[in-house]
């Protein structure tokens, strides 16, 4: 999965780093769901270093930046520090920005086919933080301008005292099985075209296990039993924390698909599955796990 970068180590502890970044530190800049990068022919992802970024790091820009800073320290992986470019407007790199030589704004989705994995994980995690910083420029309670806490990752409102911590959306991925078969789905109207599993967001007031039961009923009209937790995954693409569960169908296995959410939902036999042992998503790992561990699903 994308976050599995051993032996490298991801350090996301809060640090109020104020000294200037080193020339070799890496900067992520976003325009909505596009990020500044270069993908080489073999799939390697390259992001601008502080040295590459010098033309944009001017005092004039810093004075105009509404957040009072052009760069914000995010986290490090081993000794590489990663920064977010905050831009001239609310966290955006301006649309009119002249191109940074050798880089262009590409779809976030590019990260799903790129390497090295630790750098792609850093980029998508930076996207999650970028979206949070951007969306908390102003206080949602009183409309005042938020400030960054100097002691923790939090946006604080000096006017009303509101404190906003990074927001993570919990969601479940569900491997619904019946002996040697698993339900595979395809989503209607999404970028992801491949096979997926049933999935959905936790609603306020329910447990993750209750989300599993509700989503299976809503998406394919089936009841479940024997719900077992598998693993979790931070998924910055959608600002999520994904929690994977396997469960068994209870009673009828006749699918009644929700056509607003899905374009297809079918029972697929183990022998008809092709799975990827090195997939970056929890979904692909769960499909692979079902494929190669028949003894767990007898
Ligand atoms: Zn406020």
- Give the residue among 93, 80, 290, 91 at the shortest CA–CA distance from 195: 290
CATH number assigned to the domain comprising residue 122: 3.90.79
Distance from residue 138's CA to the centre of ligand 1 (Å): 8
Domain contains 182:
yes
Residue 212 lies in a domain: yes
d(CA 38, CA 60): 27
pLDDT computed for residue 195 by the predictor: 84
Q: Answer yes or no: do 16 and 138 share one domain.
A: yes
- Ramachandran angles phi, psi of 205, nearest 5°: 95, 0
- Output the pLDDT for position 233: 98
Domain count, the chain: 2
pLDDT tens, the chain, 298 aa long? 999 999 999 999 988 887 788 999 999 998 889 899 999 999 899 999 999 888 878 887 777 776 667 889 999 999 999 999 887 544 455 555 566 778 888 999 999 889 999 999 999 999 999 999 989 989 999 999 999 999 999 999 999 999 999 999 999 999 999 999 999 998 877 666 678 999 999 999 999 999 999 999 999 999 999 999 999 999 999 999 999 999 999 999 999 988 888 889 999 999 999 888 889 999 999 999 999 999 999 8
Question: How far does the centroid of ligand 1 lie from the alpha carbon of residue 139, in Å?
Answer: 5
Q: Looking at the structure, tell me whether residues 189 and 223 fall in a common domain.
A: yes
pLDDT at 263: 87
Q: Is the separation of the CB atoms in 223 and 249 below 8 Å?
A: yes
CA of 30 to the centre of ligand 1 (A): 26
DSSP strands (E only) in 165-270: 169-178, 181-187, 198-201, 223-235, 240-250, 262-269
- For residue 161, tell me if it sits in a domain: no
pLDDT at residue 59, rounded to an integer: 80
CA of 147 to the centre of ligand 1 (A): 10
- For residue 4, tell me if it sits in a domain: no
Please, what is the Cα angle at 14 between 29 and 118, to 5 degrees?
Answer: 50
In a domain, 78, yes or no: yes
Residue 140 Cα to ligand 1 middle (Å):
7
For residues 103 and 178, membership in a common domain is answered with no
109, 228: one domain: no
256 prior amide bond cis, ω within 30: no
What is the domain extent for residue 265?
169-297
Report the predicted TM-score, pTM, of the whole model to 2 decimal places.
0.92
CA of 154 to the centre of ligand 1 (A): 13
- Token pair in block for residue 216: 């299976």
The size of the chain, in residues, is 298
The answer to whether the Cα torsion of 17, 21, 25, 31 is positive or negative is: positive
**What is the 157 CA–ligand 1 centroid distance (Å)?**
5
Residue 256 falls within a domain, yes or no?
yes
Same domain, 237 and 174: yes
Residue 2 lies in a domain: no
């Amino acid at each position: 999965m994308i976050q599995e970068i051993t032996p490298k180590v991801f350090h996301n502890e809060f640090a109020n780093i104020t000294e200037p970044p080193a020339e070799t530190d890496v900067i992520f800049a976003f325009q909505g769901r596009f990020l500044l990068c270069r993908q080489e022919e073999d799939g390697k992802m390259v992001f601008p270093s502080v040295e590459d970024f010098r033309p944009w790091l001017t005092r004039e820009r810093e004075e105009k930046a509404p957040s009072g800073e052009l760069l914000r320290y995010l986290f490090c992986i081993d000794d590489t520090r990663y920064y977010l470019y905050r831009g001239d407007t609310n966290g955006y790199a301006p649309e009119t920005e002249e191109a940074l030589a050798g880089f262009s704004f590409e779809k976030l989705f590019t990260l799903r086919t790129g390497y090295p994995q630790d750098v792609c994980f850093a980029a998508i995690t930076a996207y999650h933080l970028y979206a949070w910083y951007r969306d908390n420029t102003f206080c949602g309670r009183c409309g005042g301008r938020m400030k960054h806490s100097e002691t923790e990752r939090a946006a604080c409102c000096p006017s009303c005292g509101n404190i906003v911590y990074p927001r993570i959306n919990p969601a479940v991925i569900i491997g619904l099985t019946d002996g040697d078969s698993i339900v595979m789905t395809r989503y209607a109207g999404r970028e992801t075209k491949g096979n997926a599993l049933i999935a959905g967001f936790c609603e306020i007031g329910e447990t993750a296990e209750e989300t599993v039961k509700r989503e299976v009923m809503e998406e394919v009209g089936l009841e479940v039993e024997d719900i077992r937790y598998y693993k979790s995954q931070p998924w910055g693409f959608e600002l999520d924390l994904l929690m994977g569960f396997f469960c068994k169908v209870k009673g009828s296995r006749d699918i009644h698909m929700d056509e607003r959410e899905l374009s297809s939902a079918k029972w697929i036999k183990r022998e008809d599955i092709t799975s990827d042992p090195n997939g970056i998503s929890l979904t692909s790992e769960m499909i692979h796990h079902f494929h190669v561990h028949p003894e767990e699903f007898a």
